[in-house]
Structure 1
Amino acid sequence: MESEICIYTFSPFGFEGSLVTVEVDLRRGIPAVDIVGLADGAVRESRERMRSAVINSGFDFPCERVLISLSPSDLKKEGAGFDLPLALAVLIQSKKNDFKFIEENIMVMGELELNGNLRPVRAVHAAAATAASSGIKMCIVPYENAEEARAAGNMKVFGAKNLTEAFSALSNAELFSSKKQIRNLNSLLVSEEGMIEKHGILFAPVEKGFEYGEIKNQKELIRAVQIAAAGGHNLLAYGAPGCGKTLSLQKFSALLPLLTPEESASVTRIHSIAGLLSKGSSIIRKPVFRQPHQTASIEGMCGGGSQCRPGEISLAHNGVLFLDEASEFKSSVLQMLRVPLESRTITISRAGRTTVYPADFQLLMSANPCPCGNFGSKEKICLCSARSVEQYWKKFSAPLLDRVDIRIRVDPERQSSGPSRTTDELREEIALAVSIQRQRQGKRNSRLLPSDIEKICITDNEAKKLLDEAAEKYEFSPRAAAGCLKVSRTIADMKGLKTINGECMKEAVLLRKNENLIAGML
């Protein structure tokens, strides 16, 4: 009986990628393997690896002329993940009269070694999710990628260690549901054992080096960091070298709750496409913290290349992008951040193809007050000219700074003495604010649209008066005024208040008006 099995594989490109159908025809002629369908160099080389792997696994390679078609034919096929699907498709065609194969559509990915063993490949999570959305229910991938594929959901996944195991699975559906192969999806979402729950919000245990209680004399900075974590607000900390701004911001991820399953799905897909998922991992639940070097290029930040790989801003999706010594980044890199900060996405176009990556990240920046770092210090002398200080701060254009709701000057000479609150204590108010935001609209306060602000950021008379006076005194733009409302809404949420009062608004204005301290330097 002729099998109705159909082999699909995946060609990664950008965030979406495409399913590829693998068809094989055996015909008379000089023994050879031909591949049609816009295959790149790595895919064309698959025929040699495939032939050796098939023979070294104990199978007979067809003596006929083998034609392999990859469709759609106008889509460029790239990557080493085509080895296994090509080998299985050839074996199915050559042995279709000897075996009864599973009568299912099946998605296959994997790179073959010459001895028949399988190597893990990237983009397996994206491939499994795309296949599941297309109605494909079965998947064969390398054993190291199996957890990654199962995390996509709605898929029966078989993790094969070699070509022999993968071929056996094609004729035995029970292998896909064996206890060694399948697990409860909830276990993939990270066991809640050991997690810390506050107000219904889950946090990961505090790791060594992420304890805020160890930081001394930085209460104002830690308060600003706490508010930023509670509402997802962008933050700029500036001050003299060694004042503690970098240390405080590098611990920021400890204040963030675990991602929801919906948030983690897109984050996992992006890291799968980039090949950054660790061996045997399934799904990312901890918010990502990315800290690129100051020499990063626009392509490194935005993404690109022949396959439109994700850049730093997409890898920081639903997480944090931290630019330490932000003034040392190229001006073009800093200005590039403006559109993604507003749209929460980035569109990449390469060679007539376009992809859209999600880029909903929280921006943290640290900077010195001047090139030498001593500007404004009472104890040290600044050797920078007025023009050099002006050029230094001009890298932070007004449109970029306007999108940063919290600006905090870190000055050890005016900071409160004593240790900061512990990470666990800071999480208490953050959890309350996050819980309220999720119940209210399902998005962070920093993401509120103008129409949302009118409904959610309800102020009393004192708060409204304070904002009006501050807007006039400090010449706030409409976006700056809206930023004050969003920050004050977060502060009110941290206190469990339904209405923004004058105290909340005053703190929000103080955090925003630090732009005038910057302006005073120019």
Structure 2
Amino acid sequence: MLVKVFGAAVQGIDATVITIEVNSTRGCMFHLVGLPDSAVKESHERILSALQVNGYKFPTSQIVINMAPADIRKEGSAYDLPLAIGMMAAKENVSTEKLGKYIIMGELSLDGSLQTIKGALPIAIKAREEGYEGLIVPRQNAKEAAVVNNLKVYGANNIKEVMGFFNGEETLEQTVVNTREEFYAQQTSFEFDFSDVKGQENVKRSLEVAAAGGHNLIMIGAPGSGKSMMAKRLPSILPPLSLGESLETTKIHSVAGKLGKDTSLIAKRPFRSPHHTISQVAMVGGGAYPQPGEISLAHNGLLYLDELAEFNRSVLEVLRQPLEDRTISVSRAKYSIDYPAGFMMIASMNPCPCGYYNHPTKACVCSSGQVQKYLNRISGPLLDRIDIQVEIVPVPFEKISDKRTSEPSSAIRERVIKARQIQEQRYADYPGVYCNAQMSTKLLHTFAEPDSTGLTLLKNAMNRLNLSARAYDRILKVSRTIADLDGSEKVKSAHLAEAISYRNLDRESWAG
């Protein structure tokens, strides 16, 4: 008997429907074809044990299974459940009446229980697109898949429940998620708040500007001056995710297997902070079994690079293209995959190997050559993509011991949201541009052109501070954001002056 069961393969962050054709004939052989990897081939032993433990006999006839389309590589153990259901249906132990209406995915344990899988959300989206009535996945993945409306999602604990469901002997409970209610309920709670930060008003202001315009930022200062502390609090002032952004972010984390148990939608912007020993593949994605990298996991959120100068230079250089294009194409001999990579990069580093260059009280023990060599670990092209550069000095004792609370994140976030709303209206007719940091040169001349007084100020600043030519566009973008925070339609001299102060580390010596 020939039966067809439907599963799905995840490629990048999208899914493709896989048709599993099972033919049972006279004989005693087992054949599995259709480009399965080792994990799929090993499913035979897991299925055999799962059926035996649950009181079913493994088919003794010849079984031929084809996984179509055959030119797509089938990877992982999530095909255990559809393969088992297909084999039992071919032996007429499972009714085929409803098989064609569902996509089935799940990994089997030896006792028949179902283990969590990766990519349940993109599989659910594909099932709805293809017009399937429902999706059957392990119980742990049910809430994740149920955010897709107009699709019946059933979570099962073991293979016996699934077989009983198709035979009409058991009823699986449909998982229903109130997507909007859960999404908006989680958007305002943050672990860290700017009210905990004492002093550093100029740095907090620069972070507010970065959040309002989507600008990349680097903080340079001595150890213990609060760089990491403030970076961890930056998500609390970013504008909330839209439902579309949340869905896209959740898809990426679903494919990477980073969603927690019984998680539906990611409601807060991601904050990724990889260690400086990270490899190129871990940063951009790929590998033998393609997975999203850190820059994709930070999509619609923040990528925080602590101790920037300690990162391998080749790892930092691969960030240059994603920072501009907001996407990364991973091309290998066997595959080519596009991952989204629209993130804000926040970096921090010490000014020298000992960490105390320009410190107000501690002497630096590094020679000028050592300081220069340390700073030159950051290439000019990468620095060119960082709009705001801030120097941090340690907080004096008077500020640390001050018992008065600082401005909370909620107040700063309100100003950031207002500025982002202005930008959304401004760029409504320009696809692909959502904030000031993404402005092209043409848009700069349209929306951020300074007056004659501002041009004179900018010219004098570039000459006196020895700023490089690349700083010009960055200053205009940041000044446009400052003007938006100020509610000003025009870029004024005061806005330019503040933007110039955020480029005071951009010297020719930094370019290496």
**Would you say same fold, with TM above 0.5?**
yes
Deviation per residue, 1:146-196 (Å, 9 max, x gap):
1111224442211111112222333569957x5x522333345x2x34x6x
For 1:362-381, list aligned pairs within 5 A.
362-381=344-363
Q: Does 1:205 align with 2:189?
A: yes
Q: Does 1:248 align with 2:230?
A: yes
Matched residue SS, 1:248 = helix
Q: Do the aligned residues in 2 keep the contact of 1:219 with 1:415 (CA within 8 Å)?
A: no
CA–CA distance in structure 2, aligned partners of residues 485 and 350 of structure 1: 39
CA–CA distance in structure 1, aligned partners of residues 396 and 241 of structure 2: 36
Deviation of 1:377 (Å): 2.5
Deviation per residue, 1:78-127 (Å, 9 max, x gap):
1010001101112222227x846226442111001122211111111122
Unaligned runs of 5+ in 1: 196-202
Going from structure 1 to structure 2, the CA distance change for 1:168 and 1:437 (only over 3 Å counts) comes to farther
1:257 corresponding residue in structure 2: 239
Count of aligned pairs between the two proteins: 503
Match of 2:42 among 18, 36, 45: 45
Q: Does 1:457 align with 2:448?
A: yes
Going from structure 1 to structure 2, the CA distance change for 1:174 and 1:341 (only over 3 Å counts) comes to farther
* One-letter amino acid matched to 1:467: L
Q: Do the aligned residues in 2 keep the contact of 1:219 with 1:416 (CA within 8 Å)?
A: no
Q: Does 1:87 align with 2:84?
A: yes
- Pairwise CA RMSD: 2.7
For 1:272-283, list aligned pairs within 5 A.
272-283=254-265
Match of 1:161 among 157, 172, 176: 157
2:505 corresponding residue in structure 1: 514
Deviation of 1:20 (Å): 1.5
CA–CA distance in structure 2, aligned partners of residues 152 and 460 of structure 1: 50
Match of 2:436 among 408, 427, 445: 445
Q: Do the aligned residues in 1 keep the contact of 2:6 with 2:100 (CA within 8 Å)?
A: no
CA–CA distance in structure 1, aligned partners of residues 333 and 128 of structure 2: 29
CA–CA distance in structure 1, aligned partners of residues 510 and 421 of structure 2: 39
Going from structure 1 to structure 2, the CA distance change for 1:381 and 1:474 (only over 3 Å counts) comes to closer
For 1:317-466, list aligned pairs within 5 A.
317-412=299-394, 417=399, 420-441=406-427, 443-466=434-457
Q: Do the aligned residues in 2 keep the contact of 1:217 with 1:412 (CA within 8 Å)?
A: no
1:22 corresponding residue in structure 2: 20
Deviation per residue, 1:195-251 (Å, 9 max, x gap):
6xxxxxxx51243xx121222221111111111111111001101111112211122
Deviation of 1:281 (Å): 0.3
CA–CA distance in structure 1, aligned partners of residues 14 and 238 of structure 2: 28
Q: Does 1:487 align with 2:478?
A: yes
Going from structure 1 to structure 2, the CA distance change for 1:172 and 1:481 (only over 3 Å counts) comes to farther
Deviation of 1:360 (Å): 0.8
Matched residue SS, 1:251 = helix
Q: Do the aligned residues in 1 keep the contact of 2:475 with 2:500 (CA within 8 Å)?
A: yes
- Tell me the percent identity: 37
Q: Do the aligned residues in 2 keep the contact of 1:128 with 1:139 (CA within 8 Å)?
A: yes
Going from structure 1 to structure 2, the CA distance change for 1:131 and 1:413 (only over 3 Å counts) comes to closer
2:431 corresponding residue in structure 1: none
Deviation per residue, 1:10-39 (Å, 9 max, x gap):
223433353321010001112x43211111
Q: Does 1:219 align with 2:201?
A: yes
1:74 corresponding residue in structure 2: 71
Q: Does 1:127 align with 2:123?
A: yes
Matched residue SS, 1:512 = coil
Deviation per residue, 1:263-303 (Å, 9 max, x gap):
11221111111110000001112010011111111112112
* One-letter amino acid matched to 2:221: G
2:252 corresponding residue in structure 1: 270
Going from structure 1 to structure 2, the CA distance change for 1:471 and 1:17 (only over 3 Å counts) comes to farther
Q: Does 1:114 align with 2:98?
A: no
Q: Do the aligned residues in 2 keep the contact of 1:102 with 1:172 (CA within 8 Å)?
A: no
1:184 corresponding residue in structure 2: 178
CA–CA distance in structure 2, aligned partners of residues 371 and 219 of structure 1: 26
CA–CA distance in structure 1, aligned partners of residues 511 and 442 of structure 2: 36
Deviation of 1:479 (Å): 4.5
CA–CA distance in structure 2, aligned partners of residues 267 and 415 of structure 1: 42
CA–CA distance in structure 2, aligned partners of residues 255 and 120 of structure 1: 34
Q: Do the aligned residues in 2 keep the contact of 1:43 with 1:83 (CA within 8 Å)?
A: yes
CA–CA distance in structure 2, aligned partners of residues 327 and 100 of structure 1: 61
Deviation per residue, 1:461-506 (Å, 9 max, x gap):
4334433443455565564222212211211221222222221121
CA–CA distance in structure 1, aligned partners of residues 455 and 273 of structure 2: 38
Q: Do the aligned residues in 2 keep the contact of 1:218 with 1:420 (CA within 8 Å)?
A: no
Give the TM-score, by structure 1 length: 0.89
CA–CA distance in structure 1, aligned partners of residues 294 and 108 of structure 2: 30
Match of 1:467 among 425, 447, 458: 458
Going from structure 1 to structure 2, the CA distance change for 1:479 and 1:156 (only over 3 Å counts) comes to farther
Match of 2:54 among 57, 69, 74: 57
Deviation of 1:457 (Å): 2.6
CA–CA distance in structure 2, aligned partners of residues 492 and 294 of structure 1: 36
Deviation per residue, 1:362-413 (Å, 9 max, x gap):
1111111110011123422221122211211111111111110000111237
2:32 corresponding residue in structure 1: 35
Between 258-267 and 54-63, report the one with greater CA deviation: 54-63
